[in-house]
Structure 1
């Protein structure tokens, strides 16, 4: 089959690889019909290269048709249409039963000290072959795959794999009070969708911050009060402008949907680039002990949120040596929630919104649809935010 493979920093290729097969009774094999390109994939493209191995199959936002199931998968059959969550979880351990499938005790990558295994996401999360491919082996298929109805196009449901539950959890963790205010830093796919979800869940005002014109236009068209980072001399000016709209206090909650590749962190960017250029045998230990993030977005979130407010961190961070303004965080009495999205915890709540009325705008959420063969161009375009690329779907 064809699959998108990682070969090195900023080097992905579509190659022929062996077809997946049933290896355990709880496996399924899914023929992929649509697969997304995620901002997290870009971290593998440049920042987290020390944890990658040439030939790793990328991707964690797939959906498709079940081809085959193992004997331990009673609720799926060949021909079922499914969305595959990005994490691999059993559904029966203590963590899963307590709505934390990202911490599944059956698939935890204990050798790396990490949580549940993820599709297509470094050896830290199990080095499981991902879904940017023609076929995908799905472990723990007795729990993971979400059956969806025939009929509507893939765009209606594919975002259940990651974008929708990640944005939903970000808003749920933000815990905006009825009629309250929320600021979202970063209007890429997750930030954009978080704004939409916040509005349908009752936030009175949503402020969105970015510096990419297409992202700002999309958010503004959905009723978000947008702020172009390029219009302000520094983050203090931006914070002051939003505080002026919230009685001088700041919003009730802030979602950081940027993460480790934030603009405005020049020194940290240089450190990340230097680490990514090291040979893997040197780069991985260095990254595990001394890795840093570009923290501009997080610092802005801490400054912006009102006292007693909530920070919801959904952008991926990976640093181990990052300085944080603990005095400010403690003095402001901030609540902070974060983590990978627990997809199956939220999927049943989200499904009623995926109707013909399309209140979340999923049907036209993708800006680009490309064949899988054009994955290298898709990665480059998404990395450089060129051609108005906000969300890319690929079709094998």
Structure 2
């Protein structure tokens, strides 16, 4: 089959690899019909290269058709249409039963000290072959795949794999009061969808912050009050402008949908670029113990949120030696929540919104649909924010 493979920093290729097969009774194999390109994939493209191995198959946002199931998968059969969550979880351990499949005790990558295995996402999360491919082996298929109806196009349901539950959890963790206010930093796919989810869940005012004109325009067209960070001389001016819209207090909640590759910290950027270019055997232990993030967005979030408010961190961070303004967090009595999205915890709540009325705008959420063979171009375009690329779907 064809699959998108990682070969080095900013080097992905479409190669022919062996077809996946059933290896355990709880496996399934699906034929992928669409697979998303995620902002998290860009971290592998640029920053987290020390944890990758040439030939790793990328991707974790698939929708497709079941081709084959193992004997331990009673509720799926060939021909079923399914979305596959990005994390691999058993559904039966203590963590899964308590709504935390990202911490699944059956698939935890304990050798690396990490949570549940993920599709297509470094050795830290199990080096499981990913979903930007023609076919995908799905472990723990007795729990993970979400059956969806035939008929509607892939765009209606594909975002159940990651974008929708990640945005949903970001808003749930933000704990926005009914009619309250939230600021979303970063209007990429997750930030954009978080704005939409906040609106349908009853937020009174949603502020969106970004620097990319196309992203700001998309959010503004859906009623988000947008702020172009590049139009301010410094963080303080941006914070003041949003505070002025909230009686001087700041929003009730702030969602950081930017993460480790934020603009605004030249030294951290240089450190990331330097380590991503070093030999993997040398840099891997350094990054595990001393890696640093670019925390400009997080520091803005801490400054912006009102006293007694909530920070919801959904952008991926990986630093182990980052300085945190603990005095400010404590003094402002800020609640902070974060983590990978627990897809199956939220999927049943989200499904009623995936109707013909399309309140979340999923049908036209993708800005680009490309054949799998164009994956190298898709990665470059998305990483460089070219051609208005916000969400890319690839079809094998």
> Under a length normalisation based on structure 1, what TM-score does the superposition of the two structures give?
1.00
How do 1:43-192 and structure 2 match up within 5 A? 43-192=43-192
Q: Distance in 2 between matches of 1:308 and 1:358?
A: 34
2:350 corresponding residue in structure 1: 350
Partner secondary structure for residue 169 of structure 1 = helix
CA shift at 1:394, angstroms?
Answer: 0.2
Q: Distance in 2 between matches of 1:288 and 1:267?
A: 19
CA shift at 1:179, angstroms?
Answer: 0.8
Partner secondary structure for residue 273 of structure 2 = helix
Q: Distance in 2 between matches of 1:131 and 1:74?
A: 23
CA shift at 1:307, angstroms?
Answer: 0.2
CA shift at 1:340, angstroms?
Answer: 0.1
CA shift at 1:326, angstroms?
Answer: 0.3
Q: Distance in 1 between matches of 2:389 and 2:277?
A: 27
Q: Indicate yes or no: 2:352 matched with 1:340.
A: no
Partner secondary structure for residue 251 of structure 2 = coil
> Under a length normalisation based on structure 2, what TM-score does the superposition of the two structures give?
1.00
2:275 corresponding residue in structure 1: 275
Q: Distance in 1 between matches of 2:232 and 2:362?
A: 32
Deviations 1:270-320 (A, max 9, x none): 000111011010010110111000000000000000000000000000000
Deviations 1:59-80 (A, max 9, x none): 0000100000000000000000
CA shift at 1:265, angstroms?
Answer: 1.2
2:9 corresponding residue in structure 1: 9
CA shift at 1:167, angstroms?
Answer: 0.1
Q: Distance in 2 between matches of 1:173 and 1:380?
A: 32
Deviations 1:68-119 (A, max 9, x none): 0000000000000000000000000000000000000000000000000000
Q: Distance in 2 between matches of 1:302 and 1:207?
A: 15
Q: Distance in 1 between matches of 2:55 and 2:394?
A: 19
Deviations 1:185-215 (A, max 9, x none): 0000000000000000000000000000000
Partner secondary structure for residue 264 of structure 2 = coil
Q: Which runs of 5+ in 2 are unaligned?
A: none
Partner secondary structure for residue 150 of structure 1 = coil
CA shift at 1:393, angstroms?
Answer: 0.2
CA shift at 1:18, angstroms?
Answer: 0.2
Q: Indicate yes or no: 2:240 matched with 1:226.
A: no
Q: Distance in 2 between matches of 1:199 and 1:388?
A: 23
Partner secondary structure for residue 6 of structure 2 = strand
Q: Give the alignment's Cα RMSD to 1 decimal.
A: 0.3
Q: Distance in 2 between matches of 1:288 and 1:268?
A: 16
Q: Distance in 1 between matches of 2:96 and 2:346?
A: 13
1:370 corresponding residue in structure 2: 370
Partner secondary structure for residue 137 of structure 1 = strand
Q: Which runs of 5+ in 1 are unaligned?
A: none
Deviations 1:169-191 (A, max 9, x none): 00000000011000000000000
Q: Distance in 2 between matches of 1:217 and 1:170?
A: 22
How do 1:225-374 and structure 2 match up within 5 A? 225-374=225-374
Q: Distance in 2 between matches of 1:390 and 1:170?
A: 19
